[in-house]
């Protein structure tokens, strides 16, 4: 194999390792590392396993089967140069005696942002960039938003018909998507820190909002219920994960009898600022998620009113659309969106992936300003 082919092969291995940190490292990024000797043999591997724990390259170094003199390190994210919950990694990597380092992505943390790469170069390591970059950027997309803005990355999941309906004219929405698509959603829940639904979705669908049929961490569950009117028999209040349920209400309801009843059930009540129209202030809500719950990735699962609120606030970073091959006719649509008078004025998203999901079409679209980082992914 040529060097380029070999680099792509080993970086793919590192990216696969990084995925193993899904659900356990947030708000830190998912990172994988492979160390290969001069005979093209793996001598060390590692991935970031838990928030606050050792980083991928440190775990790989600890796993070394032999000295790394003249070896090549494949790392999905550049080594850090700051002392956080763990010491800086770049100085340790520099002392290994590597001949090369192949790095997928520059760290978006302004305190690092290329300094790790420069430190390697200054120590005599030949650094190669641009291998697996789009995949590496995809892995850290929520971390990038969180570390640069202090707000969570917001993904909206929508299951809809060909004519754009998320429910029939009578409100029926189970099941629009295929079984395969529902498994995809469960995997997505395992990736994010929190899911959010509105009051009507919680009442009509009575969702569990948990990860099932595959292994994964159950996310926090938020529900918008301004006046705390939801019945207490719902799954989110009665199942084994009820302590992960947070009900968002108007500040005036914080100390109400309804709030006290939920507290007795082991469910947390969270006051969220509301605007003059009585709607939750989305930006403030996202700030609370970040500051109080360390949520770096939020999955909005509906319904239309909640999606509309995020769209009106221009806070949707990503859409995960599952389009089922049928027509509702006069359906209930996804959201009331900001009106664009022409295509030039419309909010722009880039389609970074589209694939079959059972009978459905699964489309992933990301805000155009960041979507270009992920489009035409290498692998």
Catalytically active residues are 57
Burial class (CB in 10 A: 0-12, 13-18, 19+), 183: middle
Left (φ > 0), alpha (ψ -120 to 50) or beta: where does 97 sit? left
CA distances from 136 to 119, 141, 143, 144 (A): 20, 9, 12, 12
CA–CA separation, 59 and 73 (whole Å): 13
Q: Which of 99, 133, 109, 129 is nearest to 15 (CA)?
A: 133
Q: How many residues does the chain have?
A: 379
DSSP β-bridge partners for residue 46: 33
In a 3-state reduction of DSSP, which class is residue 45? Answer: strand
With contact defined as beta carbons under 8 Å apart, do 313 and 209 qualify?
Answer: no
CA–CA separation, 336 and 18 (whole Å): 38
CA–CA separation, 29 and 141 (whole Å): 8
Burial class (CB in 10 A: 0-12, 13-18, 19+), 306: buried
DSSP β-bridge partners for residue 363: 321, 354
């Amino acid at each position: 194999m040529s060097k380029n082919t070999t680099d792509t092969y080993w970086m793919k291995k590192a990216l696969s390792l990084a995925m193993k940190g899904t659900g356990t490292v947030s708000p830190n990024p998912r990172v994988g590392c492979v160390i290969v000797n001069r005979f093209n043999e793996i001598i060390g591997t590692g991935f970031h396993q838990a928030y606050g724990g050792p980083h991928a390259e440190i775990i790989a170094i600890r796993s070394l089967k032999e000295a790394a003199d003249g070896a090549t390190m494949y790392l999905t994210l550049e080594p850090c140069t700051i002392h956080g919950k763990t010491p800086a990694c770049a100085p340790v990597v520099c002392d290994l005696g590597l001949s090369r380092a192949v790095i997928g992505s520059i760290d978006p943390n302004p305190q690092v942002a290329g300094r790790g790469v420069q430190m390697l170069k200054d120590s005599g390591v030949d650094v190669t960039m641009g291998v697996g970059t789009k995949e590496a950027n995809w892995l850290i997309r929520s971390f990038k938003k969180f570390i640069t803005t202090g707000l969570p990355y917001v993904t909206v999941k929508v299951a809809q018909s060909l004519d754009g309906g998320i429910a029939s004219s009578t409100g029926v929405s189970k099941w629009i998507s295929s079984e395969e698509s529902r498994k995809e959603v469960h995997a997505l829940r395992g990736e994010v820190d929190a899911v959010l639904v509105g009051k009507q979705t919680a009442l009509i669908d009575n969702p569990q909002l948990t990860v099932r049929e595959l292994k994964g961490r159950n996310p926090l569950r938020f529900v918008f219920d301004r006046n705390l009117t939801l019945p207490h028999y719902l799954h989110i209040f009665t199942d084994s994960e009820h302590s992960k349920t947070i009900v968002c209400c108007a500040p005036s309801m914080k100390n109400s009898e309804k709030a006290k009843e939920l507290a007795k059930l082991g469910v947390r009540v969270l006051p969220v600022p509301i605007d003059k129209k009585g709607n939750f202030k989305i930006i403030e809500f996202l700030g609370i998620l970040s500051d109080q719950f360390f949520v770096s990735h939020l999955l909005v699962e509906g319904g239309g009113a909640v999606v509309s609120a995020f769209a009106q606030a221009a806070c949707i970073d990503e859409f995960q659309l599952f389009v089922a091959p049928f027509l509702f006719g006069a359906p209930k649509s996804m959201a009331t969106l900001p009106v664009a008078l022409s295509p030039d004025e419309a909010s722009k998203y880039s389609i970074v992936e589209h694939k079959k999901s059972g009978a459905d079409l699964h489309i992933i679209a990301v805000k155009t300003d960041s979507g270009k980082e992920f489009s035409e992914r290498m692998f």
